[in-house]
């Protein structure tokens, strides 16, 4: 785990021995379940530590999640939601994914690591965002999903309370996407805020965190029905 410790140290993020142990167990579960069905194409330990764990946790260099509520949309194998929970135990986390097999894996990780204040939900963002128990209830929403920022904003902004934030994990080259998504974000009640650009220490991986501030309620028309945001982005 030295690679993870070094990466986080260079990002000025402290990690405890207990947290290191949790990440080690998380990695073992990820590889075991990945042999049963595909969770990630990245399986070498050093690569997982850098590309999944350190990348997920790097957000804490820029954003304080202490005591917040966070929804991770399209959580997949649990990135970034589970690493953020490991590093910030006071944050209450919900992991959302549309595939039941992945929900089974996420529940196994939560139980094995004995994590509290975190649960997984099976569903599509377009449907769950219409549930009053979830709509505009969260301080933060994160997503590492591979989709355009305009599409991701339609998935994510309806979940965020006014004054909260959507944080999209993106590559380093983000300028065109920011320009193309600004109108959609405005329609959905958001405004592009800080954009944090960085590289994972010791690598050439250029990354960006795009922070979208929720300044108004999302109109009731959004999100549109399942499948439409990706096929016909705003």
pLDDT digits (tens, 9 = 90+) for 181-200: 999 999 999 999 999 999 88
Residue showing tokens 């945001």: 229
DSSP lists the bridge partners of residue 142 as: 72, 167
CA distances for 208 relative to 55, 59, 190, 196, 225, angstroms: 10, 10, 18, 5, 29
pLDDT at 146: 76
Question: In the predicted model, is pLDDT for residue 202 greater than 90?
Answer: no
pLDDT at 204: 82
pTM of the model: 0.95
Spatial distance between the Cα atoms of 223 and 121, rounded to a whole number of angstroms:
18
The pLDDT tens digits for 51-91 are 999 999 999 999 999 999 999 999 999 999 999 999 999 99
pLDDT at 165: 98
pLDDT at 147: 87
CATH classification code of 62-231: 3.40.50.150
The pLDDT tens digits for 128-171 are 999 999 999 999 999 998 789 999 999 999 999 999 999 999 98
CA distances for 82 relative to 52, 127, 170, 176, 224, angstroms: 11, 23, 18, 30, 28
Return left, alpha or beta for 141; rule: phi > 0 is left, psi -120 to 50 is alpha, else beta. Answer: beta
- The residues spanned by each domain of the chain are 62-231
pLDDT at 164: 98
pLDDT at 156: 97
SS3 at position 159: helix
Q: Which residues of 193-217 are buried (b: 16+ CB within 10 A; e: fewer)?
A: eeeeebebbeeeeebbbbbbbbeee
Cβ atoms of 208 and 178 closer than 8 Å = no
Confidence band, pLDDT 50/70/90 cuts, at residue 1: confident
CA distances for 28 relative to 23, 34, 69, angstroms: 9, 10, 27
Q: Which residues have a Cβ under 8 Å from the Cβ of 7 and sit 6 or more positions away? A: 49, 50, 54, 200, 201, 202
Average pLDDT score, the chain? 95
pLDDT at 169: 96
Confidence band, pLDDT 50/70/90 cuts, at residue 172: confident
pLDDT at 173: 85
DSSP lists the bridge partners of residue 213 as: 165, 191
Residue showing tokens 């974000």: 185
């Amino acid at each position: 785990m030295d690679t993870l410790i070094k990466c986080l140290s260079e990002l000025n993020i402290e990690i405890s021995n207990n947290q290191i142990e949790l990440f080690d167990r998380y990695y073992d579960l990820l590889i075991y379940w990945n042999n049963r069905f595909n969770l990630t194409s990245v399986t070498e330990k050093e690569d997982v530590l850098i590309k999944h764990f350190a990348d997920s946790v790097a957000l804490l260099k820029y954003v304080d999640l202490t005591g917040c509520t966070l929804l991770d949309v399209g959580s997949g194998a649990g990135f970034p939601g589970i690493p953020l929970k490991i590093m910030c135990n006071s944050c209450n986390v919900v992991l959302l994914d549309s595939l039941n097999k992945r929900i089974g894996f996420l529940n196994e990780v939560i139980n094995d690591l004995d994590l509290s204040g975190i649960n997984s939900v099976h569903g599509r963002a377009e449907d769950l965002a219409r549930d009053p128990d979830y709509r505009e209830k969260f301080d933060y929403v994160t997503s590492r999903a591979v989709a355009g920022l305009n599409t991701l904003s339609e998935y994510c902004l309806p979940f965020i309370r006014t004054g909260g934030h959507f944080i999209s994990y993106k590559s380093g080259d983000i300028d065109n996407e920011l320009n193309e998504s600004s109108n959609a974000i405005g329609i959905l009640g958001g405004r592009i805020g800080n954009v944090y650009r960085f590289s994972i220490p010791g690598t050439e991986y250029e990354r960006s965190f795009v922070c979208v501030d929720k300044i108004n309620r999302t109109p009731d028309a959004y999100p549109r029905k399942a499948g439409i945001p990706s096929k016909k982005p705003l």
